[in-house]
Homo-oligomer: A and B are copies of this chain.
């Protein structure tokens, strides 16, 4: 039996690890011993991992609340220990020898980005200062336009990945602040150009920059931020980082062009779609994460692990983004609802609904993706068809696969705050409804 530390929020905890990871069997071992007769829970564990989200000893009983791991659709559970046996007095890790528990379902707890936000809060202050300083220009329109998007409530997930990655490998310096800002500038430039490319009207719930400032200024300020990103990297002076981010930038552009050529093409396959989002979204996630290891100069194995984490997380993130655009349960989004539909973008929910549809439904999709059915009624019909074939959930299922791969990729690193925050960020990416 392995013990991985104390559960932070449960002071009377006997033996449970703070989080039961997936993929290394740690969680399974612990549960197999602790909750030997909890068949329902054991099945979940066998299916791919369970998170313990709360645990406390009350009298002779151990209460355990379990979140559900990636890859499992069930709810959470309350596991009530019945016969935890203490073999001898002493620290719980060395005392508990056997335990069984009754398991009852609990309301499910959603993973959040909070641990990631907490982990990177200090560093993000420094990154934000760089962003604010380096988006300035003597031409007042530049900071005004850039600021509209930059202060517009983005999650700044990508620079956070750089900071978290650096934290995970034990980097102590400050180089990654500039580089994380460079990553965010590249992302912001891409968003500005995307809004022009798509003719977007809303971005993050506000009027898109192109609507307020026009396409010309939006294109040019994107170019400015892109140039600033390379200035920041050059100041840092790492050719390795420059190689990673210049290559990622070219791949992003290729992905965007590829998406453009797939637009209104009903026969786009899942494979092609995955290629597109791998380029347009995941390449920057991968680069952002990898840079954390590059500044720490900790070796190719660690770099690759962080690259894999970011890449899979990026794919999961984009899949969920695309699912949300058709999710009838989803809360109101910042992004203009139904944009993908009206633009004839072939995202995975549509690919699924089209593949599974009747001949008549396929005719609807052909017309819709070709741009002949773009009314609100048509959008409602599309959402209904996607609901009929559970295509949003199927897309999220795919996303969970990639998120699981992301979590697995960083299992080479010691467990701790950074790894836990990054794992929960992956959980969050697929569980989020906005």
Closest to A217 in B: B260
Contacts A230-B230, A234-B243, A260-B220 given; indicate if A254 touches B137 (C-beta within 8 A): yes
Contact B227 A249 (CB under 8 A): yes
Contacts A141-B261, A221-B257, A223-B249 given; indicate if A215 touches B215 (C-beta within 8 A): yes
Contact B246 A227 (CB under 8 A): yes
What is the CA–CA distance of A257 and B189 in the complex, to the nearest angstrom?
A: 15
Assembly stoichiometry (copies)? 2
Q: Which residues from B are CB-within-8-Å of A128?
A: none
- How far does the Cβ of A40 sit from chain B's closest Cβ, in whole Å? 48
Q: Which residues from B are CB-within-8-Å of A86?
A: none
Q: Tell whether A118 is near chain B: CB-to-CB under 8 Å.
A: no
Among B139, B216, B217, B223, the residue within 8 A (CB) of A226 is: B223
Q: Which residues from B are CB-within-8-Å of A157?
A: none
Within 8 A of B (CB), among A265-288: none
Q: Tell whether A417 is near chain B: CB-to-CB under 8 Å.
A: no
Q: Which residues from B are CB-within-8-Å of A258?
A: 139
What is the CA–CA distance of A193 and B226 in the complex, to the nearest angstrom?
A: 13
Within 8 A of B (CB), among A255-313: 256-258, 260-261
Closest to A245 in B: B230
Q: Which residues from B are CB-within-8-Å of A234?
A: 239, 242-243, 246
Contact mask for chain A residues 21-56; partner B; CB cutoff 8 A; 1 contact, 0 none: 000000000000000000000000000000000000
Q: Tell whether A12 is near chain B: CB-to-CB under 8 Å.
A: no
Q: Tell whether A219 is near chain B: CB-to-CB under 8 Å.
A: yes
Q: Which residues from B are CB-within-8-Å of A256?
A: 220, 223
What is the CA–CA distance of A403 and B33 in the complex, to the nearest angstrom?
A: 85
- How far does the Cβ of A187 sit from chain B's closest Cβ, in whole Å? 13
Contact A257 B215 (CB under 8 A): no
Among B224, B226, B243, B261, the residue within 8 A (CB) of A254 is: B224
Closest to A235 in B: B243
Contact A253 B231 (CB under 8 A): no
- How far does the Cβ of A24 sit from chain B's closest Cβ, in whole Å? 37
A→B interface (CB under 8 Å) = 137-139, 141-142, 189-190, 193, 196-198, 215-217, 219-221, 223-224, 226-228, 230-231, 233-235, 237, 239, 242-243, 246-247, 249-250, 252-254, 256-258, 260-261
7 additional A-B residue pairs with CB within 8 Å, beyond A224-B254, A227-B249: A139-B257, A189-B223, A220-B256, A223-B256, A227-B252, A230-B249, A233-B246
